Amino acid sequence: MQLRYRVLTAAVTALGMTATLSGCGGDRGSGDVTLRLVAADYGTGPANSSRKYWDGLVKGFEATHPGIKVDVSVHSWKDIDREVAAMVKKGQAPDIAQIGSYADYAKAGKLYRADQVLSIRTQANFLPSLAEAGSVDRTQYGLPFVASTRLLFYNKKYFAQAGLDAPRTWDDIRDDAAVLGQRGVTYPFALPLGPEESQAETMMWLLGGHGGYIDDSGSYEIDSDENIRTFDWLKTNLVDKGLVGPTAPGELDRQKAFDAFTDGRVGMLNGHPTLMQEAEAKGVSVGMVPMPGIDGPGKNSLGVADWIMGFKQQGHRVQLRKFFDYLFTDKNVIDFADEYDLLPVTDSASAAMESDAEYKPLWKFLAALPDSQFYPYGKTSWARSRESIKENIGRAVEPNGSPKSVLRKIARDSAVAAAAD
């Protein structure tokens, strides 16, 4: 997300506590049970709070599964990870948590494996790239709840007025940005490398340069030759040429860049489905293409996922399996994705949306998702690596900045974190 790119601020639903906390971790297969679920709210306020989704889903589940109740409470995305961590530390882990990461809890042995809380059919229905992203040491613990991917957005009005075609390569981006800048566009290319979500912008560019955060063996390679070349190109061809607008990339957060696009002050930037809806609502005509790469359209887009997981502490594996199998039916998956302009995480729900003209605006994103590359969610060290990227990457493109030095600093931080993984 975390998913909603995190475009929307969230409030979480922590579904209430069971009357008795056993802490034994054994299975309880009979008798009345109350599941406690903690879930993030993807809405911007009461009118579109995720609580409405969960209330409706829980009502349907309880009606068809007598003897199992589900309690829900709400926290914001700012608080949700901290709230769940506090519950676990107190020995009061929820039965279900829908949050932004799972690896720490999996490594600590606190989560059920996916095959323990899902039917074979449900587990096999996840998009393979998402199932892999939810795995630690090749065992899946994180159940993908919702996903998103990125495309390059451009202002179709500005491109048409300038006689420009949609970019396919980095050189096209540079050349188009130069024309837009000459025509007075405030941000010819908005490059948000500020601390809000620069790990996403960074990864999109690294993928386009045939690099990334990790190598084929799963080890960090943040200061690879390919990655250094990518940021050398960005600095020389966009930033140094004054094609990224009046705000230094290291000071530009993603939301500010999105706001500038919806206000008609941006020619190009990397975006996700929610931005498409917001821009068109404000009268901005949006074009979208796969993220251009160094030598052609990129083969892999950035994918982002949020996760849901089952904790072992209360021993409700049997009930969790029933709940998760219900949760991941096509209707429930599509209802949530549709409400928040996000993408479904299962093959069958994706196929249903791809065959329904109602969801045509999302088709390009759906097409990009199966081949998307995800953050190394299965590494507990990823949290520290991500923070180092957010703290440092903007300096790589400063006037006197050194991409090689900055990437090596991030690589060292990541290696230290990985040593304790």
Phi, psi for 12 (deg, rounded to 5): -100, 155
Of 128, 273, 298, 290, nearest to 206 by C-alpha is: 298
The phi, psi pair for 296, rounded to 5°, reads 150, 180
> Are the C-beta atoms of residues 302 and 19 closer than 8 Å to each other?
no
Answer for the pair 78, 12: CB distance below 8 angstroms, yes or no.
no
pLDDT at position 14, please?
33
Stretch among 25-29, 74-78, 302-306, 339-343 having the lowest mean pLDDT: 25-29
Q: Kindly tell me the sign of the dihedral angle through the C-alpha atoms of 265, 266, 270, 275.
A: positive
Q: Is the domain of 272 the same as that of 318?
A: no
11 sits in which H/E element: strand 11-14
Asked whether residue 385 carries a pLDDT value surpassing 90, the answer given is: yes
- My answer on whether 31 and 179 are in the same domain is no
Amino acid at 14: A
Tell me whether residue 218 is in a domain. yes
pLDDT on residue 30 = 54
Total tally of structural domains belonging to the chain = 2
With CA atoms as reference, report the closest residue to 234 among 170, 281, 186, 291.
Answer: 170
Q: Which helix (H) or strand (E) holds 268?
A: strand 266-271
Distance separating alpha carbons of residues 92 and 107, to the nearest angstrom: 18
Of 5-19, 94-108, 161-175, the poorest mean pLDDT is in 5-19
Same domain, 255 and 367: no
- Do both 262 and 365 map to the same domain? no
- Claim to verify: residue 266 and residue 296 sit in the same structural domain: yes
Tell me the pairing of strands 302-310 and 143-149.
antiparallel
| One domain for residues 137 and 184 | no
Looking at the chain, the whole-number percentage of residues with pLDDT higher than 90 is 84
Average pLDDT estimate for 122-151? 96
Q: Is residue 380 part of a domain?
A: no
**Contact status, residue 373 vs residue 213, Cβ threshold 8 Å:** no
Asked, for residue 47, whether it belongs to a domain, the answer is yes
pLDDT for residue 391: 96
Confidence of residue 277 (pLDDT cuts 50, 70, 90): confident
Tell me: pLDDT of 292 over 90: yes
Q: Residue 151 is inside which H or E element, if any?
A: strand 151-155
Looking at the fold, whether 143 and 159 belong to one and the same domain comes out as no
Structural domain that includes position 265: 151-300+386-419
Residues 282 and 325 in one domain: no
CATH of the domain at 310: 3.40.190.10
Q: Is residue 1 part of a domain?
A: no
Mean pLDDT of 58-73: 95
**pLDDT-derived band of residue 5, with 50, 70 and 90 as boundaries?**
very low
pLDDT in tens, 300-336: 899 999 999 999 999 999 999 999 999 999 999 999 9
| 3-7, 259-263, 289-293: the lowest-pLDDT one | 3-7
- Predicted confidence at residue 31, as pLDDT, reads 59
- Indicate whether 337 and 366 sit together in one domain: yes
Beta bridge partners of 12: 75
Residue 162 inside a domain? The answer is yes
pLDDT band at 26 (very low <50, low <70, confident <90, very high): low
The pTM assigned to this predicted structure is 0.87
Helix 317-327 to helix 50-64 angle (10° resolution) is 120
Residues 6 or more apart whose CB falls under 8 angstroms from that of 137 comprise 378
Average pLDDT on 167-187 reads 98
Residues 138 and 24 in one domain: yes
Q: CA 89, 92, 96, 102: dihedral to nearest 10 degrees?
A: 10
398 in the same domain as 360: no
Region 356-376 average pLDDT: 94
Indicate if 41 and 134 belong to the same structural domain: yes
Percent of the chain's residues with pLDDT above 70: 93
